Structure 1
Amino acid sequence: MKLRTTTILAASGLMILGACADPSMTGTGMSGTTGMSRTQQGALAGAAAGAIYGATRDSDRNNEGRDAARGAIVGGIAGAIAGNILDRQAAALQQSISNPNVQIVNHGSYLQVVMPEGILFATNSAAVSGPAQSDLYAVARNLNQYPNSRVEVIGHTDNTGSAAYNLDLSQRRAQSVAGILAAAGVSQGRLSATGRGLTQPVASNATEAGRAQNRRVEIIIRPTQ
């Protein structure tokens, strides 16, 4: 019964808050959910989480349904706001980055900017190329426009060479990218730089095409409010 009540409340939160979503954003930042924007997805997730939280926080169990309903409303509003902000930030990023090989993925709770090695660095180098710096400055402007987030810069390599070498190279590359973002005005308190080396491939290292996909820097943007 409690699970059923929570589900109904979450769905109600989506219906109410979804009506307030910006219709122009429907279809932006989608992840396999036809016709549902991140604003609406955020409302649903927030309503569900808020309902569960509200129910579990009830101290005397006498008003559990009321507390769950309040939690669903508050959580749904917060989720809708966060989803709408990510929708808009992703759209702004897409418009400001000139290189079509840069991927911007809206995961609902965070944004992922994927920059292939080929547009950032020469082979075995951690010096960012001139054209790529322009796109990083565009990312920095976007981050300053949406300041309520923390930013993780993560370097990745393929499996060519030793694990130790690749780990060091990926760390230096992440630091180079983070350094440009900082130089462009992003607060260093928001930034972190990490090298993962060859440990997190997204494609097979058995082919050159796969290795090229694995050589990348990811900029993860996680909202803090």
Structure 2
Amino acid sequence: MKHLALLVSFLFTLPFLQAQAPPAITDFRLDGDARQSGADCITLTPDYQWASGSIWYKKAISLNASFEMELRVMLGCKDQEGADGMVFVFHPYAERTGYRGEGMGFAGLDPAIGIEIDTWQNEHLGDPWQDHIAILRDGSVFHGFNLAGPNRIANIEDCREHDLNIQWSADSKTLSVRIDGKLVITLQRDLVKTIFRGRDKVYWGVTSATGNYNNRQAVCFEKLDFELVEELPVLELQGQKVRELMRGEFITLDHIQFESGGSNLTPASRQELDELAKIMHEHPNMDLDIIGHTDNEGSATTNLSLSEKRSRAVAEYLKRKGISPKRMNPRGLGEKYPRSSNDTRSGRMRNRRVQLRLIEPIA
């Protein structure tokens, strides 16, 4: 079988983002069991139990512009005992993968859109017994929560590569998917407004997983046509930071920043605080300490006032996300507790911070 060269044509509105050469596999982040296999292909999972692999394109794309992706997918050679499938994911945070097995690496990602190609029947999730496709939302693989589908498709675990075409029309707000040239599912919806909470910039990737049953599952890229945007920051509040927060330790999120000399939150700050609000909703018995700090530029009195305003700005944002003010304790300490030298620009930047601590109040 001949290899088709990886060809990506980009539509750009910002000239400094224009690519000088066609991207390669190195333009993707590979995670878990994902491995390059050939010039333009990536094996997401080998055919063994409880494997999980994902790839993410390193740059974000804009949903305010139309895009098209032409790929080849391989869902394996095992039919009756093959599992679990793959999901094409759109998510505002980079390098995140959900639960494996029946979750196919999509479960738990919120907010998110997933185009699921499912090859195993999980009856408790509402799966039909045939291979099927569905458009999922917000990390849920339960079909009662679908945006579209599940639609039955012909057996795709047939040891063959299948053509896959994914298109998004920004004008009509329509997402459409074709397999081997046949339209198999569509969705008409304003994804920016109703799914991504006003964010038009998202990362995209492909996740896949096996469970008690397995298959070799792979994806090959032929043509990608979308509008790139500047790279978005990786979400900081995950992994070790979350574990420290849940242990009642103070944490500092460097992405929580403010406009110079003011208390207006930057877009990256709001992404982190959205994740914090989600954690607080999941743990309604816990309260939050919010401690603002500044560098030593300006007077001590001014810095104390500024640190208080910034801590209150965080509390106010979380309030708009449904967190009760009674659960938050915002206060400022000004310039009194630096964590770096104020003699350098980078040190002063590190000292301008907000510390967070989740605590369980005494009953």
How far apart in 2 are the matches of 1:191 and 1:108? 16
Cα 1:218–1:147 change in 2 (3 A) is: same
Partner of 2:270: 133
Contact 1:109/1:223, CA 8 A, preserved across alignment = no
Aligned residue pairs, count: 130
Partner of 1:106: 244
1:176 lines up with 2:332 in the alignment: no
Deviation at 1:100, TM superposition (A): 3.8
Contact 1:156/1:200, CA 8 A, preserved across alignment = yes
> Which residue identity is paired with 2:235?
N
Which blocks of at least 5 consecutive residues in structure 2 are unaligned? 1-108, 111-232
1:215 lines up with 2:352 in the alignment: yes
Question: Deviation string for 1:163-191 (max 9, x for gaps)?
Answer: 01101111100000011111111121110
Cα 1:143–1:170 change in 2 (3 A) is: same
Partner of 2:298: 161
Contact 2:293/2:351, CA 8 A, preserved across alignment = yes
Which deviates the most, 214-223 or 129-138? 129-138
Partner of 2:324: 187
> Which residue identity is paired with 2:336?
T
> Which residue identity is paired with 1:178?
A
Partner of 2:212: none
Question: Deviation string for 1:98-127 (max 9, x for gaps)?
Answer: 4349982727851333133x6421110101
How far apart in 1 are the matches of 2:270 and 2:246? 27
Which has the higher Rg, Structure 1 or Structure 2? 2
Match of 2:252, SS state, is strand
Match of 2:250, SS state, is strand
How far apart in 2 are the matches of 1:101 and 1:123? 23
Partner of 1:145: 282
How far apart in 2 are the matches of 1:115 and 1:162? 25
How far apart in 2 are the matches of 1:148 and 1:185? 14
> Which residue identity is paired with 2:252?
V
Contact 1:170/1:195, CA 8 A, preserved across alignment = yes
Following superposition, which runs of at least 4 residues in structure 1 exceed 6 angstroms of deviation?
A: none
Match of 1:120, SS state, is coil
Cα 1:98–1:223 change in 2 (3 A) is: farther
Cα 1:101–1:139 change in 2 (3 A) is: closer
TM-score, scaled to structure 1: 0.51
How far apart in 1 are the matches of 2:282 and 2:317? 17
Higher helix proportion (structure 1 or 2): 1
Match of 2:311, SS state, is helix
Question: Deviation string for 1:61-89 (max 9, x for gaps)?
Answer: xxxxxxxxxxxxxxxxxxxxxxxxxxxxx
Deviation at 1:197, TM superposition (A): 0.4
Partner of 2:42: none
Match of 1:219, SS state, is strand
Cα 1:119–1:150 change in 2 (3 A) is: closer
Cα 1:184–1:110 change in 2 (3 A) is: same
Match of 2:253, SS state, is strand
How far apart in 2 are the matches of 1:107 and 1:142? 10
Which deviates the most, 153-162 or 100-109? 100-109
- Same amino acid, percent of matched pairs: 30
Partner of 2:133: none
Deviation at 1:129, TM superposition (A): 1.6
How far apart in 1 are the matches of 2:322 and 2:249? 20
Cα 1:108–1:131 change in 2 (3 A) is: closer
TM-score, scaled to structure 2: 0.33
Question: Deviation string for 1:35-61 (max 9, x for gaps)?
Answer: xxxxxxxxxxxxxxxxxxxxxxxxxxx
Match of 1:172, SS state, is helix
